[in-house]
């Protein structure tokens, strides 16, 4: 069965908006056209994707499954387009994504020395897009901090490092050599609690969840810590990357380390990627 990628993009827009009018506006098409395309896709697949009434639009079980599979498929298609465009317009390229605090210079230099004809770029990522850049083709490989969604990826473990609590310089725990995670039980965590399950699952932590902050990066979290309090738990290299006099980091004795892996698309069979993975492993 051949699936029209354009119809898939239309489907994903409706699935994310759960509103045909908003999805049509986002896609710059009219709502009747969008409705016809979705009906055509349902006919091609032989399954109802949405349950609609006058008040709401919901995904059916088949719709949920298609959304799960459509996103990586569209990302792979976009990545393919980028690679073809790059190949058609000049020298071969290779892009390495990396999270703050992770130094990739040595591995990049080795690859550059082996392949002087190769144009190598680096791309700084964040918690939100560290694997997305591989799926959508912006990076060939990415140094990622676990945990990540492993679907559609190959991962090579490289190294692990301690995690630390980052606090304001005048915090009650700022002068400690080390603390336990229970010392943070009543602190306001300025990140998704799922990123720090050891804190999330503390039995003595207050039951009421603090409002989840809408911070988009480490810099915003640190600014909030310095001005308004709170705490984040970060890998040591990330904490030391953002050195400032009004922020300190303290070791946490009873919390596991953060693991760093090299990630790339499971669909790609590139000798260059395999070679770089070997280089990264040797440099770790």
Which domains, from first to last, does the chain contain? 5-77 (1.10.10.10), 91-160+259-283 (3.40.190.10), 163-256 (3.40.190.10)
Which pLDDT tens digit goes with each residue over 226-237?
998 899 999 999
- DSSP H helical segments within the chain, as ranges? 5-17, 20-27, 31-45, 61-88, 105-114, 132-135, 197-200, 218-228, 236-241, 271-283
Q: Provide the edge-to-edge strand list for the sheet that holds 93-98.
A: 119-124, 93-98, 141-145, 258-265, 153-161
pLDDT bin (cut points 50, 70, 90) of residue 261 is: very high
Place of tokens 């009421």: 208
Q: Pick the range with the lowest mean pLDDT from 1-15, 197-211, 246-260.
A: 197-211
Residues 6+ apart with CB under 8 A from 203: none
Contact 264, 139 (CB under 8 A): no
pLDDT bin (cut points 50, 70, 90) of residue 239 is: very high
Average pLDDT of 37-50? 90
**Residue 77, pLDDT above cutoff 80:** no
Contact 239, 164 (CB under 8 A): yes
Please tell me which residue, 4 or 211, carries the higher pLDDT value: 4
In this predicted structure, what is the pLDDT of residue 267? 84
């Amino acid at each position: 069965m051949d699936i029209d990628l354009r119809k898939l993009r239309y489907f994903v827009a409706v699935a994310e908006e759960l509103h045909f009018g908003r999805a049509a506006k986002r896609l710059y098409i009219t709502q009747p056209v969008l409705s016809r395309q979705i009906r055509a896709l349902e006919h091609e697949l032989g399954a109802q994707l949405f349950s609609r009434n006058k008040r709401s639009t919901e995904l059916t079980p088949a719709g949920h499954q298609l959304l799960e599979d459509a996103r990586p498929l569209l990302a792979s298609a976009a990545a393919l387009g980028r690679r073809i465009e790059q190949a058609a317009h000049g020298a071969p390229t290779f892009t390495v994504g990396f999270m703050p605090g992770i130094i990739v210079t040595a591995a990049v230099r080795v690859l550059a020395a082996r392949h002087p004809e190769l144009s190598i770029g680096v791309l700084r990522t964040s918690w939100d897009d560290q694997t997305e850049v591989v799926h959508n083709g912006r990076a060939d490989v990415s140094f990622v901090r676990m945990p990540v969604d492993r679907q559609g990826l190959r991962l090579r473990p490289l190294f692990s490092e301690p995690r630390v609590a980052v606090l304001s310089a005048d915090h009650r725990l700022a002068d400690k050599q080390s603390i336990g995670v229970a010392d943070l039980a009543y602190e306001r965590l300025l990140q998704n609690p799922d990123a720090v399950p050891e804190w999330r699952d503390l039995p003595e932590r207050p039951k009421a969840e603090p409002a989840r902050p809408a911070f988009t990066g480490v810099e915003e979290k640190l600014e909030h810590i310095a001005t308004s309090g709170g705490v984040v738990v970060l890998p040591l290299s990330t904490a030391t990357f953002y050195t400032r006099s009004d922020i300190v980091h303290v070791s946490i004795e009873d919390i596991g380390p953060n693991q760093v892996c090299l990630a790339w698309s499971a669909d790609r069979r590139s000798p260059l990627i395999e070679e770089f993975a070997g280089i990264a492993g040797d440099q770790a």
